[in-house]
Structure 1
Amino acid sequence: MRPLAADDLPCALVELDEEGRIREANEVFVAWTGLSRSELEGRPFLSLRTRVSGPGGTSDGFVRLAHVDGSSRPVIVGSRPATDGELLVLVDGTERAEREQEMVRTHALQERTRNRLQLIIDSSIAFSAATTEQALGDILASTVTKAYQAEQTAVFLLDDSGEFVQASGSNPMRFLDQTHSLAEQARELRRVITISGTAAADAVAPVLGQAMRDAGVHAVLVAPIQHDDVLFGLFSAFFLHPREFDSEAAPLADALAGQAAQAITTLRLQRQLEHAAMHDETTGLPNRRLLETELLEYQRSTSTLVATLFIDLDGFKRVNDGLGHHTGDLLLREVGERLQAAVRQDDLVARYGGDEFVVVCEVPEVAAAEEVADRIRQAIELPFADIPEGFPISASIGLSIARTEDPAWTPDRLIREADHAMYSAKNAGGNRVVGIPVG
């Protein structure tokens, strides 16, 4: 095999015979293959090349020229007929291939970014439509599963005692201490945690690495659900296949967790406002508005009789004027507690306004209602810790009873009759129960 002319050219030249075997090659081609001229002579050119597929699996015009060390070089091949064969011109396509690969990566990144942005928009709409934290947790678990193609996703929320409780999704880590280890990492670091492989999990906490092995989990992503430094919980995505996380994994988790935290904040604020609208600020009892609403439910009661007790405190004005409003508020709160302790859990206790309270209960007979009323009267008559001697407190109680089968009774009528009976008790000297005859 004799050297091909133009060895000083920056491209490779190869002359093939009619069967596509190498007849001659220049020094550039020899260097690109790592073979000697004698090793190249007679070798099929096709044995040294493979087609390269571009984006979408289509040919992008490159072939890869193999080197004996196992590497390969992208080249662009041109050809023209030669005497009894073909002359090939091979141009190094490394730089162009790198540019095109970078374009492919950029396009893929843009597509992922676009998909994730749409996911964030869709999740924001879904979160805003959730009316309960349970529904919100279900949406979050479903969204995270879709976003990361995770096999399982679990959402944990902090309960009143500060413990993580699973609210939605599924958790392959079956034991509480295993989940607790994962949750405490997120609580302590307050940032997204990604763990790929059980060895990495061992470095975080041995119990976590063992938990992943036991559950067949290869990778985990954990994100704290927090807003304005208030931690509400966390979500965790579990992968039952090897998984590496790209640079966008944590920001996406942050965005989803942040949206969920804002939605939880809104839901809890709404609940607080609804509670405030229906409950007395001083005692925490249902207020007049909620009382009237709840009384409507008693019209559907299966009991024979519904009793309404209208309670007015005797001596409260002297406490309020003589000892101050703060002491008066303490007294009202304790009265509310005594009322709740004197009746059943299902009975309704409300603050009607000022020093007036209302109790509503279902009773089998009039005597049972009178017994409840007298029990309340005796409970209020007992001394109060914050009230000194000389400020006696008692209760004037009006009792109204309606038969549930009577279509004429209404909540307003019950309250009005009990109120009139209470004034009769107060005008008679107070600290007594006066009842309205059953209609």
Structure 2
Amino acid sequence: MTSDFHTEDMIYTDVYQESISGDHLSLPEYDYYNFGIEEADPGVPVGRPTGTNSLGFSWNVSFPHSYDNEGDNLVDPSLHGPAVSEKTLLDLHRQLIHHSVFESYTLTGLSSSVVTFKPFMLKPKGLYLLEVSAISEERLQGKSQLFFHTQAVPEGMSCQVQPNTGYEIHTYFSIFCSSGKEDLLYEYSFSVGTSPRKLLYEGRDFQHYFSLPSGDPNDDYKVTIYIEMKNRFGATTKPCPVKVTVLPSFQRNSSSQLNPDHELYMYGVGNLTGLSKIGSSRDIINYISLLIAVLNRLSLDADSSVQLLTLTRTSIITAACQLSITDKGMLFEIIYRLTDLIRVSSQVTFYCAKQVIQHVQHIASLSHESKPPAGHILDTGMVKALVSLLSGVLEAPVLSFRPGHQLTNKVLYTITDLVLVGEASLMIC
């Protein structure tokens, strides 16, 4: 039996022999092998012949060395579910924040070229979309969108403040925080009553010792200590307040055998001298603040020794003028403390007035340097602070005598120079 065999009927197998006679193929000389090649699902034909072909051969033939489903299901369909496309930022659910609510989040409002958010208004580990519109003459010029995320704040930390009660200057308080596994930046501060917070320490030490001023007498002499932690991304925890009781020292009463004026000079100035040798500028300026508070309080007492208080004031002014200026913030602190010291002008000596004037002239000379903390240091705020300090020096009685006339001229010259340099810096900016 012969049959026509066209090219469209030809298949490829592993081994075959052809015997062609004219246009026909001799079947007895043709050994045909069918290895049963099939799709993953044999029940669904996809472009392959099934049943019997025109030559009478069956396409579904089993062979002795074949196995059921051999070569089928190379990928198990049960392990491969329906494809799920990954969501992009634009596919995420978004919740619109009302304009009035968003404005309450910021310090700069909605129409500023710079947006500054209030502290702790945005949630940690949050994703936000900020949309900005440019409008000119009441016409929309364009829009832009920005995705930004907030970092996670430090968690699981614990701190301890000891002791609960102490005395101003005399008692050493301590803060100890569990460091955990993170490399954190710590900030400790305090406030008395409604006064602004004052910085105690900022750095990586999770343990710190310090002294405190007496607390608010209207609040049982309470002082509030604040603890904040910041991670390497700048995410900061909310200030954690801790209240301690700090009682006043250096009291003048009949039951005490100590003279508070003498005690302040011997104990307070003695500690300041030792701290000036080994302590940081921050620790020194904080201790100076404590001494000033007690010194000015004792100056209001008519029974105080003016001579001892003047010696104490002179020593503190000298220590303040010798402080190294590490940054602009520290410089402001020094100026404010010197202003507090010369406020009691009757205890300002000729030597103290001369020291303060020279210190201000040194600060003014920093504006001509390029290294920190110089360089545009004499801005409007700094000039006002320095002029206020020099104005206080002019009120010292010692300048009304003949030796003080030269210092008065120096003060006036320095004030003029400061104002001119300040205006020049303002024009450059």
Max Rg structure: 2
Larger helix percent: 1
Structure having greater relative contact order (Cα 8 Å, sep ≥ 6): 1
For Structure 1 versus Structure 2, the TM-score category normalised by the shorter chain is under 0.3
Higher strand share: 1
- Normalized against structure 2, the TM-score is what? 0.22
The normalised TM-score by structure 1 is 0.22
